[in-house]
Every structure is written in structure tokens, then in C-alpha cells.
């Protein structure tokens, strides 16, 4: 069987990379709405929530699955607050479940940004450590941590600009730009001088464009 010309293979490889990056960053695009992150600021850029309905007679696990599979992909505090802190245990289980789909695991991570449990920040930091988790899940963890802790997330997320995954690096670069501040600008400018991947460099430049001079 003959192989396609080198130029054709290169183009195909580039298209595949762009597709992987797009899939990994879909959740990132949702989480990057607005210009501020953190528990106190998050309500400022969320769309108004509809009145929260009482929990049905189903189990907590079933209610969490319903929320994760709902059309409203952006996790809202008003939807998750009624579930209480116990929701974090269920979400952690879903993230660690290899049988769960990758999009579902990423949405579970995103929900950790708004779940009412003080240990959610620690759980997100654990997901960010080098592991077998898919890039989309780790990218979602980075963005959820930024949304939950705001400027405090910058020291934890800076090392991810050198992550092995291009999707993680690109997502983190844009997130740092949304978080803003002098420290975020500094680390992005430094990474821009080192980054070799064109798509990630573009993401870093977009991140820098979000930060006011």
C-alpha cells in the first residue's frame, strides 16, 4: 500500500491536532466567560439562573448525572448549591471512573468550581498533577481552579504552561489571561519566548491580549 505524499500527511496531521485541541478546549471556552474568576466574582458573569427546583426523590448520584447531562453545560452555583457538600464525593468518583466518558469527566471537573465544599480546591489541584487523566479533563481542572480561586490559582497553574499536552498549555494560557494581573502577564511573556508550538503560541498571545497594560 502506497503512503500519501509527505505534504498530505503533514496536512492531515495538522488537521488531527487542531481537532484534538478543539475538543479539549470546548469546555475551556465555556469556563472562560467573563473577565473575573473566584467564588465571589463568579456570580458577576453568570447568566441569571432559573428558580432552583427541589431535589427529586432520586439519589444524589442521579441528580448529579442529570445536571451534568443537562443542556446547560456551564455549571452554575444556583444549580449545585442545593446538593450540598456531599456532591464533591460523587463528582470525584466520576472523574476517577475510567468507564465514564471523557466529556462527562470534564463536566464533573468543571462542576467542582462551584460545588459547596472547602476541599474542592485541593481535589482540583490533585487532578492537575501528572496522571493518566485525558488532556481535556486536566484542562478543565485548570480552568475550574482559576474560576474557584482567582488570582490565587496563578502559582499552581504556571507550571502547566510547560505541560506535555498542547491542549492543556493552550487552555491554561488563555485562562491566565482571563485571570489577569501582573504575575500572569509575566509568566505568559516568559513562556512565549520558549513555546515552540504555533497553536499554543497563538493561545498565549490571546491570553496576553486579555490583560490590560
Three-state DSSP class for 136?
helix
The CATH number of residue 173's host domain is 1.25.10.10
In a domain, 93, yes or no: yes
pLDDT band of residue 130 (cuts 50, 70, 90) is confident
* Sequence-separated (6 or more) residues with CB below 8 Å from residue 55: 63, 82, 83
pLDDT of residue 75: 86
Q: What is the largest CA-CA distance in the chain?
A: 62
**Does a structural domain hold residue 50?**
no
| 88-99 average pLDDT score | 92
What is the rounded CA–CA span in Å between residue 201 and residue 194? 9
What pLDDT was estimated at residue 71?
A: 54
The total of structural domains in the chain comes to 1
Alpha-carbon distances, residue 156 vs 7, 59, 66, 123, 145 (angstroms): 40, 35, 31, 13, 9
Between 11 and 176, the higher pLDDT residue: 176
Rounded to two decimals, the pTM is: 0.73
How far, in whole angstroms, is CA 148 from its chain's centroid? 11
Average pLDDT, the chain: 78
10-17: which pairs have CB atoms within 8 A and are 24 or more residues apart? Answer: 17/166, 17/199
User: Considering only CA atoms, which of 181, 177, 184 is closest in space to residue 209?
Assistant: 177
Domain that holds residue 77: 28-44+56-210
For the stretch 102-114, pLDDT in tens is 999 999 999 999 9
* Residues 7-22 pLDDT 10s: 444 444 444 444 444 4
Crossing angle of helices 166-179 and 135-149, in 10° steps, is 10
- Position 41 pLDDT exceeds 50: no
Phi, psi of 56 (to 5 degrees): -70, 180
- Whether 16 maps to a domain, the answer reads no
- How far apart CA 127 and CA 95 sit, in angstroms, is 9
Cα angle for residues 149, 101, 158 (degrees, 5° grid) = 30
List the single range of 11-20, 83-92, 197-206 with lowest mean pLDDT: 11-20
Retrieve residue 187's grid coordinates. Answer: 509568566
DSSP run (H or E) holding 112: none
Would residue 38 count as lying in a domain?
Answer: yes
Kindly tell me the burial class for residue 13, based on how many C-beta atoms sit within 10 Å of its own C-beta (0-12, 13-18, 19 or more): exposed
Q: Which triple of cell numbers denotes residue 106?
A: 470534564
Amino acid at each position: 500500500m502506497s503512503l500519501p505524499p509527505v505534504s498530505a500527511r503533514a496536512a492531515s496531521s495538522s488537521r488531527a491536532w487542531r481537532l484534538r485541541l478543539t475538543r479539549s478546549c470546548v469546555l475551556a471556552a465555556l469556563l472562560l466567560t467573563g473577565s473575573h474568576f473566584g467564588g465571589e466574582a463568579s456570580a458577576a458573569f453568570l447568566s441569571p439562573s432559573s428558580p432552583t427546583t427541589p431535589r427529586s426523590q432520586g439519589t444524589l448520584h442521579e441528580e448529579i448525572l442529570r445536571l451534568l447531562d443537562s443542556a446547560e453545560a456551564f455549571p452554575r452555583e444556583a444549580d449545585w448549591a442545593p446538593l450540598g457538600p456531599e456532591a464533591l464525593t460523587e463528582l470525584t468518583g466520576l472523574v476517577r471512573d475510567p468507564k465514564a466518558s471523557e466529556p462527562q469527566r470534564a463536566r464533573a471537573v468543571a462542576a467542582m468550581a462551584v460545588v459547596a465544599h472547602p476541599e474542592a480546591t485541593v481535589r482540583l489541584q490533585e487532578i492537575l498533577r501528572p496522571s493518566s487523566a485525558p488532556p481535556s479533563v486536566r484542562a478543565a481542572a485548570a480552568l475550574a481552579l482559576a474560576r474557584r480561586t482567582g488570582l490565587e490559582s496563578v502559582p499552581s497553574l504556571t507550571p502547566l504552561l510547560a505541560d506535555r499536552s498542547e491542549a492543556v498549555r493552550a487552555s491554561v494560557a488563555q485562562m491566565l489571561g482571563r485571570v489577569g494581573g501582573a504575575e500572569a502577564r509575566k509568566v505568559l511573556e516568559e513562556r512565549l519566548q520558549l513555546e515552540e508550538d504555533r497553536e499554543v503560541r497563538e493561545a498565549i498571545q490571546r491570553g496576553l491580549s486579555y490583560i490590560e497594560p
